[in-house]
Structure 1
Amino acid sequence: MLADSPSSAWSSELPPRVSRGMRGGVPRERRRRDRRKLRIAHFTTLTGSAGIWGPSSVNSAVLAASEINKRGGILGREIELVIHDAGDAPEDLARTAQDLVTGEDADVILGSHMSAVRVSLRQTFKGRLPYIYTPIYEGGECTPGVLAIGETPPRQARPAVRWLAEHRHACRWYLIGSDYVWPWLSHRAVKRYIADAGGQIVGEDFVRVGEHDHSRYLERIRTTRPDVVFISLIGLDGIVFNRSFGEHGLGSRILRLANCVDETVLLGIGADNTTNLFAASGYFASVATAHGEAFRAAYHDAFGAFAPLPGSTAQSNYEGLYFLEAIARRAGTLDLRSLCAAAEGAVYRGGRGALGMHRQCVEMPIYFAEADGFDFRLRERF
C-alpha cells in the first residue's frame, strides 16, 4: 500500500520503481540512472487546490506501471516512475523541467495537472520529450510532442448543455470558473453551445485559484436568477463553492452543471449539498462497465478497500501509461516523432474501455450523470 505524505516519495510493494522527484530544482535524492529502464517523470498535483486528486492519481499511475511491467514493460524496458509535485511554484517547476531536459533525466513526461502548468512546461519539453497530458482540458493542444487524451468541450460540454436545455428547459445561464486558461477557453466554447441551444448568459465570473470566499458570487447568482450555473472551479475551490451553494439554499432552486466534478469532489461537497448537480465525463467510478469494474478491482486489490477512490482525473493517469504503451508498440520505438505519428489512429484500453485517437483528440463515450448524495446516477450517454 502507498503510505506517505503528499510531498514525499511514494514507495510501494508493487513492481515499478517509484522515486522522489525534485523541489526547487534540487534533487531530493540522487540515484544513478539505469538506462535500461524507462524513466517517466510524473508531474501530478499533490498540493494546492487540485491536490485533492494527488494520492489517487499517483496510485493509478503506479498500478498501470505495475501491470505493464509484469508483461515485460514498454518495448522491453521496465517503467520507473519519478513523482514531481505539479503544485510547486511556477519558477520551481520551470527549473525542474529544464533540469530534466539538460540532464537527460527522463524519457517521457506524464502530466496530470492544471492547464496553466501544461502551458508553462510544454515550452521546455517541446520537441524534446514525449509529453502525455491526461485530464480534461480546453482542447486545441497542438504543441509538437504533447499528446492530450482528456475530455474537451465539444465532446463533453456541448451535449450536456443541449440535454439541460431540452429536458430541464434551461435558458438562463451563469458561468463561474477559476481564473486561468482552462476555464477561460472552456467558457468561450460553452457560450457558443448555450447560444446554439437558444439560451442566454446572465452573468460570468472568474475566481482566483485558492479563493474560498464566494459570498459575492452567490449573491450575484441569487440576484440574476439563472436556470443553471455552469461551474469550472478547480478541485478544492469547487468543493467550497458547491458547499456554500447548498448551504445558502440555492441547490433546490437552481441547476448546476460542473465541468470537473468526480466522486472525490462529491465526498468533499457532502451529500446534503449536491441536489440538482449534474456532470459530464468520460469516466465515473459509479458507472458500471466491464473495463471500469476491472480497473477498480485491480486498484483496490493493490491499495486496499480504504484507498482514495479514483475518479476521472485519477483514472486518466492509469490510462495515460496504457496510451504510451499502445503508441510505442505501434511505432516500435520511443523516438518522439515516431510516437507522435503512431498516435493518430492508435487504439488503447484503460478504465474507460477501448479508445482511439483521431486528429489529436481521443474519441470516447461521455456519460451525463446527476449527483445522488456521494454517488452519481447515470442520465444519458453521449
Structure 2
Amino acid sequence: MSDILFTSEVVIPAPREAAFSSFGTGPWAGWFFNAQFDHLRPGALVRLALPMGAARAAVEGTARVQRVIPGQRIVLLHETPWRGRVVLDFAPDDGGTRVRLVTSVEHSSLAPLARMLGADLDQVDDPDEDVVRIGLLTSYSGSAGVFGRAVENCARLAVDEINAERGVNGTPLRLVVGDDATEPSTGLRELRRMHLRHHVDMVIAVHTSATLDAVRPYARRVGLPYFYTPVNEGGRHAGRLFRWGEVPEDQLRKAVPAMMREHSSRGWYVVGNDYSWPRAVGACARRTVLAEGGRLLGERYVPLSSRDFSPVLEEIERSGAELVVNSLVGGDAAAFERQLYAAGLRQRVRSIGTLLDEATREHIGDEAAAGMWTVLGYFMDLPTEENREFLRRYRAAYGDYAPPVSSVTESVYEGIHLYARAARAAGTIEPASLLGALPGVSFDGPRGRVTVTGDGRLRQTLYLAEAVTGGFRIRGEQGLVNID
C-alpha cells in the first residue's frame, strides 16, 4: 500500500544559499523540526523534534541524511519514532527562497503513529493461524528511543534467518512490535495489546528496567516467556522471565581500577536516571570504588528524559571528581556528555558509560565522546569473521545508512536465535517444555559463543572499550562471565 504524504511550504526572506544554511539553526529551526546534527552529509544522524498537534508536546525522533544537493535539496530517511522520508527543496522566490517540505510516513508505521495520537488502527490476528508470534517490546521515542530502530532491524534479521531454515519445527516466525516510548505505563499497555490482539507466544524486550517492573506482573499472570536482553541490574530468573544482558558488577569490577590507573585519579562521581538499574549501578560503583581505594565525591539521580544537566555539572566541578560513572539512558546520556564536553570539563573528567554503545556514542558525537570507556558484550569493531559476516547481512538487508548495531540491539538477534534453538530442542513452543530445554543452549554469533547457564543467565565475553573517532577501540577482554 502507498505511503502517506504531508506537504508544507514557507518563504524565507533570504537568498537560497543562506536559506539552505539555516537548516537546523536560526529563526527557521522550528519549521525544520528543530533539526540538530554534527555533519550534513549522507549517513549522518539528525535529531528531530516532531510536532504532534497543539495539545501534545513534540516527540524526539531521529533520521539519517540520505542525500544533499548543496543549496537545493536535503533528503532524510526517518528512523524513529516511525519510518518515512523527509524531502526539503529550496527554490528562489522574488529575492527570497521558497522551501517545500514533503514528509512521507510508511504504511507500516501508520498504526503505531495512530496509537501515539490516541487513535486505533490495529488489526486483530487470527489465533488459529499456524505461526509463532514473537512479541518485540522496545522504545522508539523518549530517552531509550535511540535504540529502537536498530533493535527492530536485528530482530527482523533473526526472524528472516530462522524462517529461511523452515522456521521453528516447520512453523514460520512472525514479529509483532510494540513501542513503550520509554514510559512504563505505555509499555504495559503495549504488552497487553500484543498479547490480547496478536496472541504473541513469547516476548523479547529491550527497554528500561522501569518498564520491566511495570510489565512483569502481567507477563507472569498470563504465562508469557519474557526474554529481557539489554544491560540490567541482575538477579536470577523468576518463572518465565530471563535477564540476559550485562550486569554492573561484571562491567565495573575491572574497569574501575583500570581507569584509576590510566588517569592517575581516585575521585569519582556517579550520575544516572532515577530507577532500579542506574541505582544498582550506583551501589556497585560505591562498593567497587571504595574497595579499590578510591573516593566517591558525589552521586545524583535524575528523571528519565532529563536534558538540562547544568546543576550536575556544577556539582562535579565543585567536588573535584575526575572520574564519572554514567548510567544515564540513551538520549539522557548523550545530553549529559555533550554538555560536559561543551563546559570544557572533558579535559580533566573522564567517564565510563555502563550503557555507552554505538548508538549513544553517535548521539554524543565523535569529539564529545572521545576518551569515554565502556564494558559491553558486543561492538561493531570486534575483529571476527562472524561479526563481519553479520554486519554484511545487516547492511544488505537495511542499507549502508542503517542505524548502527550495538550490544543493546544485537542482543535481540541472538535472543531470538536462542529461543528458536530451545524450541527445536524441545520439539515444541509450549512454554514449560521450551524453557526446560533452554539451559545449555548455545549460539555462535556476532559476539562469539553465548550459552544459557543452569540458572537462566547468559555466559558471554565482555570487552573493555574506549570511544574513538567513528567507533570504539577494544582495550581488552573482561573474560567469560558465568553466573552459575
Q: TM-score, normalised by structure 2?
A: 0.73
Q: Distance in 2 between matches of 1:64 and 1:133?
A: 16
Amino acid at match of 2:273: S
CA contact (8 A) 2:209 2:232 kept: yes
**Residue 219 of structure 2 is aligned to residue 125 of structure 1:** yes
Q: Shift of the alpha carbon at 1:157?
A: 2.1
Provide the rounded CA distance (Å) in 2 between the counterparts of 1:75 and 1:178. Answer: 42
Q: 1:202-241 maps to which residues of 2 (within 5 A)?
A: 202-241=297-336
Distance 1:98 1:274, change over 3 A: closer
Distance 1:204 1:147, change over 3 A: same
> 1-side partners of 2:437 and 2:266: how far apart?
43
Query: What amino acid maps onto 1:381 in structure 2?
Result: E
Q: CA deviation at 1:244?
A: 0.7
Residues 25, 99 of structure 1: 8 Å contact kept: no
Pairwise CA distance, 1:323: 1.5
The one-letter code sitting in structure 2 at the alignment partner of 1:380 is: G
Whole-Å Cα distance in 2 between the matches of residues 233 and 249 of structure 1?
20
Q: Which residue pairs with 2:352 in the alignment?
A: 257
Larger mean CA deviation between 328-337 and 178-187 belongs to: 328-337
* Aligned residues of 1:136 and 1:150 also touching (Cα < 8 A): yes
Question: Could you say if the C-alpha distance between residues 273 and 8 of structure 1 is closer, same or farther in structure 2, counting changes exceeding 3 Å?
Answer: closer
* Aligned: 1:59 with 2:153: yes
From 146, 163, 168, the equivalent of 1:74 is: 168
Q: CA 1:20 to 1:33, structure 2 compared with 1: closer, same or farther past 3 Å? A: farther
Which 4+ stretches in 1 moved above 4 angstroms? 7-10, 17-22, 24-27, 99-104
CA distance in 2, matches of 1:119, 1:152: 17
- 1:333-379 CA distance string (max 9 Å, x none): 22222233222222123321211122222111111111112311111
Equivalent position to 2:386, from 291, 295, 303? 291
3-state DSSP of counterpart to 2:461: coil
1:96, CA displacement in angstroms? Answer: 3.6
After TM superposition, list the pairs within 5 Å mapping 1:176-191 onto structure 2.
Answer: 176-191=271-286
Whether 1:246 aligns to 2:341 is yes
Equivalent in the alignment of 2:133: 39
- Once residues 270 and 87 of structure 1 are traced to their aligned partners in structure 2, the CA distance between those partners, rounded to angstroms, is 23
Tell me, yes or no, if the aligned pair for 1:292 and 1:351 is still in contact at 8 Å.
yes
Q: Distance between the aligned counterparts of 1:20 and 1:292, measured in 2?
A: 34
- TM-score where L is the length of structure 1: 0.91
Distance 1:197 1:229 in 2: 15
The equivalences for 1:136-151 within 5 A come to: 136-151=231-246
Q: Aligned pairs, how many?
A: 375
Quick one: structure 1 residues 46 and 372, their matched pair in 2 at CA, closer, same or farther if it must change by over 3 Å?
same
> CA shift at 1:234, angstroms?
0.3
Deviation at 1:238, TM superposition (A): 0.6
Secondary structure at the residue paired with 1:220? helix
Tell me whether 85-94 or 212-221 shows the greater mean CA deviation. 85-94
Corresponding residue of 2:374:
279
Q: Partner of 1:50 in structure 2? A: 144
Q: CA deviation at 1:98?
A: 3.3
Post-superposition offset of 1:190 = 2.1
Q: 2:469 matched to which residue of 1?
A: 373
- Asked if the contact 2:176–2:194 (Cα under 8 Å) also holds between the matched residues in 1, the reply is no
Greater Cα offset, 314-323 or 227-236: 314-323
Structure with bigger RCO (C-alpha 8 Å, 6+ apart)? 1
Deviations 1:111-145 (A, max 9, x none): 11111111111111116011111111111152210
CA distance in 1, matches of 2:413, 2:320: 41
Alignment deviations for residues 59-101 of structure 1 (CA, whole Å, 9 cap, x no partner):
1111110011000112221110111102165434323433444
Counterpart of 2:413 (choices 310, 318, 326) is 318
Aligned match of 2:269 = 174
Determine if contact 2:245/2:458 at 8 Å carries over to the other structure: yes
DSSP-derived class of the 2:215 partner: helix
AA aligned opposite 2:473? R
| One-letter amino acid matched to 1:108 | M
Percentage identity across aligned positions?
30
Deviation at 1:275, TM superposition (A): 3.3
Q: Structure 2 vs 1, CA of residues 66 and 172 (structure 1 numbering), >3 Å: closer, same or farther?
A: same
List alignment gaps of at least 5 residues for structure 1. 11-16
Name the residue aligned to 2:254.
159
Structure 1 range deviating more: 60-69 or 169-178:
169-178
Cα distance in 1 for partners of 2:331, 2:224 equals 31
Shift of 1:108: 0.9
Q: Which has the higher strand share?
A: 2
Offset of 1:326 from its aligned partner? Answer: 2.0
Give per-residue Cα distances to partners, 1:155-174, cap 9 Å, x unaligned: 22222113223443342110
**Alpha-carbon distance in 2 for matches of 1:98, 1:311:** 28
* Shift in CA distance, 246/145, structure 1 to aligned 2, threshold 3 Å: same
Root-mean-square deviation over aligned CA pairs: 2.4
Give the whole-Å Cα distance in 2 for the aligned partners of 1:166 and 1:107: 49
Return 248-257 or 27-36, whichever deviates more.
Answer: 27-36
For 1:330, the equivalent position in structure 2 comes to 425
Q: Give the AA of the match of 1:301.
A: A
The residue correspondences of 1:355-366 to structure 2 (distance < 5 A) are 355-358=450-453, 359-366=455-462
- The runs of 5 or more residues in structure 2 that have no matched partner are 1-76, 85-107, 479-484
